Amino acid sequence: MKILMVCLGNICRSPLAEGIMQHLIKQEGLNWGVDSAGTGDWHVGRSPDHRSVKAAHDQGIDISKQVCRLFRISDFDEFDLILVMDKSNLSNILAMARNDADRKKVKMLLGDRSVPDPYYDDAQFAPVFKLIEAGCKEIIKQYA
Ligand code: 4NP
């Protein structure tokens, strides 16, 4: 199973989702792959936001080596599951889908709930970590 985590900037939420899922995959001994990408290009080539790096580090997860990249159409071919953080990401990605097979791969990490964008609120990073962690555990339950 190959999973792509997607948010807007690929510097706050999806890097956390990649790091957390990677951590859980290892813990569970699953042979899954995980990556992350954004739909906006402002931060391409950069490291994750330092507040996400810290929120992960506080929980024993290192996401500092990740590099921001854009979502690309070929991700629909490469990944089995494309997990978006919010409804806006969902419509951005669905707008790029080429067919039903692409559309079927796209789901919100938390089902019908969004992971809020913490970019403008430092206090949101720790709760966002917890939300994403719960979402990842649920995905493992569903697909493992
Ligand atoms: P993310 O958060 O989508 O969770 O990475 C954001 C990061 C940057 C911006 C917006 C959201 N931005 O506008 O630069």
Digit-coded pLDDT (tens) for 40-79: 999 999 999 999 999 999 999 999 999 999 999 999 999 9
**Parallel, antiparallel or unpaired: strands 33-38 and 106-108:** unpaired
Q: What is the dihedral of CA 37, 21, 127, 67, to 10 degrees?
A: -30
56 — phi, psi (to 5°)?
-70, -45
CB 34 within 8 A of CB 22: yes
Region of residue 60 (phi > 0: left; psi between -120 and 50: alpha; otherwise: beta): left
12 catalytically annotated: no
Query: 37 in ligand 1 pocket by Cβ < 6 Å?
Result: no
pLDDT at residue number 105: 98
Complete domains list, the chain, with CATH: 2-143 (3.40.50.2300)
**CA dihedral sign, ordered 56, 60, 61, 64:** positive
136 catalytically annotated: no
pLDDT at residue number 5: 99
Query: 119 in ligand 1 pocket by Cβ < 6 Å?
Result: yes
Mean pLDDT, contiguous 10-residue spans, the chain (144 residues):
98 98 98 98 98 98 98 98 98 98 98 97 98 98 97
**CA dihedral sign, ordered 108, 109, 112, 118:** negative
Atom number of ligand 1 nearest to Cα 11: 5
CA-nearest residue for atom 6, ligand 1, is 9
* Tokens coding 55: 């929120």
* Among candidate residues 1, 86, 59, the one with its CA nearest the CA of residue 35: 1
Q: What is the dihedral of CA 7, 10, 12, 18, to 10 degrees?
A: 80
CA-nearest residue for atom 11, ligand 1, is 9
pLDDT at residue number 59: 98
Global pTM reads: 0.98
* Active-site entry in 13, 35, 49, 51: 13
pLDDT at residue number 111: 97
pLDDT at residue number 51: 98
104 — phi, psi (to 5°)?
-65, -25
Whole-number Å distance, alpha carbon 26 to ligand 1 midpoint, is 27
pLDDT at residue number 84: 99
